[in-house]
Structure 1
Amino acid sequence: MRKLIRGLLDFQLNARSNYREKFALLAQGQKPDCLFIACSDSRVVPNLLVSTDPGDLFVVRNVGNMMPPSDSKGQSTGDQSEAAALEFSLRNLPVEDIVVCGHSSCGAMKAVLAGGVGPEHPNLNGWLEHGKVALTRLKDNSKLGEGLPDHDRLSQHNVLLQMEHIASYPWVKERLEAGTLRLHGWWFDIGTAQVHAWRSAVGRFIPMDELVGEALLRELGTDSNAALKNGNGHLSVAASNP
């Protein structure tokens, strides 16, 4: 807590003047163009990863970067908090992109891989159910993430699964089909501080170096959200050139 207080004082006394004009504008309203769904893990810091300013990202963080799927009526089949954020951001903000960002050494994925946690964690056990399908896919002799520890391979499968869950909401599906919304899967390797981007064209996550970054930027001007199936027959997002 001392570190937080020192940091707060440093912001108030030294950095606030640099942001005064920015926050004065933000006080009139927010206009983020990206919904960023990340894990609650303290090692994953969305604004740091993408070097954004206040007001640039609408962020949802939870254990395992998950989004419960929709039922036939467009309502969440799990906790409504995540679906509410999805609903609000797409219907009230100029969001054009959604990023699901998983990461290495994820405690949630380790728990799913281990079959859950103890009975003293009933809420966590219930929440982890939203990642169980990813475990089934990992066990189906998938080659995704070959060479990585099983919990990291599971984390990559989980990113793709949560993308499917997001696309199951009617208003998301409509915008994806209309080309007014793009869905991205990212995976952050904590040990190397390297972000990897899902590329359905090659069926794997690729380090987001300068070349991949440029390719992704080119895709923003194309219809990159055509529904495709990846190598395992699961829904993913089209990508033109890796």
Structure 2
Amino acid sequence: MKKLVQGLLDFQRHGLPAYRATFARLAHGQSPDCLFIACSDSRVVPNLFVSTDPGDLFVMRNVGNMVPPSDATGLSLSDRSEAAALEFSLLNLPVKDIVVCGHSGCGAMKAILSGYNDQKTPNLSSWLDVGRPALAAFERGGKLGEGLPPYDRLSQYSVLQQLAHLRTYPLVRERLAAGTLRLHGWWFDIGHARVHAYRPDLERFAPIDELEGERMLAELESSSSETSSSAA
């Protein structure tokens, strides 16, 4: 807590002047165009590694960066906080992209691998059930994440599983069909401070280096142009 108070004072003394106009503008509302779903892990700091300012991202964080699936009506089959954030971001904000970002060394993935089910933590044990379909996919075998420790491979499988869960929501499916929403799977390698993006064409997560970043930007530009043409 001491570090938090010292950091707050440092921000007020040195950081606030540069952001004063930004916060004055944001006091009237927010308009982020991306919902970023990340893990609660203290080592994963989305605004840091994507260099965003206040107001740029609508961030949802939980243990294991997971999203429970919905039933046919769009009602979450588990904890509803994630579904509420999803609905709010799509219906009240100009969100056009959703990123699910897993990471290396994830404690939730390690717990799922170990079969964690502790009666002392009934909420955590129940929550981890959301990640078990990813474990089933991992155990069926595949090449995703080859060479990585099992828990990191599971983390990558889980990112894809959470994207599948997102697609169970009618609101998401409608926007995907209309071309007004894009889903992205990312994975953060903490040790190398490098983000990887899932490439469906390669069936793997590729590091976002300069070349890959330029490819992604060109793809996004093309997608935006096609959507604008369709709307016209």
- Equivalence for 1:7: 7
TM-score by length of 2: 0.95
What corresponds to 2:36 in structure 1?
36
User: Distance between the aligned counterparts of 2:83 and 2:172, measured in 1?
Assistant: 11
Match of 2:219 in 1: 219
- Alignment match, 1:173: 173
How far, CA to CA, are the matches of 1:222 and 1:175 in structure 2?
Answer: 18
Give the superposition deviation at 1:221. 2.9
In structure 1, what is the Cα distance between the partners aligned to 2:153 and 2:16?
41
Counterparts of 2:111 and 2:182 in 1: how far apart (Å)? Answer: 30
In structure 2, the partner of 1:23 is: 23
Match of 1:63 in 2: 63
Q: Which amino acid aligns with 2:109?
A: M
Specify the code of the residue in structure 2 equivalent to 1:159. Answer: V
Structure 2: tracts of 5 or more residues without a match: 225-232
Structure 1 CA distance for aligned equivalents of residues 185 and 5 of structure 2:
35
Give 2:228's aligned residue. none
Post-superposition Cα deviations, 1:190-211, rounded to whole Å, max 9, x if no partner, equal: 1110100000000000000011
Structure with more contact order per residue of length (Cα contacts < 8 Å, sep ≥ 6): 2
Q: Percent identity?
A: 66
Deviations along 1:15-69, one digit per CA (max 9) or x if unpaired, are: 1111110000000100000000000000000100100000000000000000000
Helix, strand or coil at the partner of 1:120: coil
Tell me how far apart the structure 1 counterparts of residues 50 and 97 of structure 2 sit (CA, whole Å): 14
Structure 2 partner of 1:235: none
Q: Name the residue aligned to 1:239.
A: none
The count of corresponding residues between Structure 1 and Structure 2 is 224
Using the alignment, how far apart are the partners of 1:30 and 1:135 within structure 2? 37
Give the Cα–Cα distance (whole angstroms) in 2 for the partners of residues 37 and 45 of structure 1. Answer: 11
Output the CA distance in 2 between the equivalents of 1:57 and 1:159: 19
Once the two structures are TM-superposed, the CA of residue 223 in structure 1 deviates from its matched residue by 4.4
Higher helix share: 2
2:143 corresponds to which residue? Answer: 143
Q: CA deviation at 1:116?
A: 1.4
Question: What does 1:73-152 correspond to in 2, within 5 Å?
Answer: 73-152=73-152
Between 12-21 and 127-136, the greater mean CA deviation after superposition: 12-21
Q: Which runs of 5+ in 1 are unaligned?
A: 225-242
Output the amino acid matched with 1:101: C
RMSD of aligned residue pairs (Cα, Å): 1.0
Instruction: After TM superposition, give the deviation of residue 117 of structure 1 in Å.
Output: 3.7
Q: Secondary structure at the match of 2:19?
A: helix
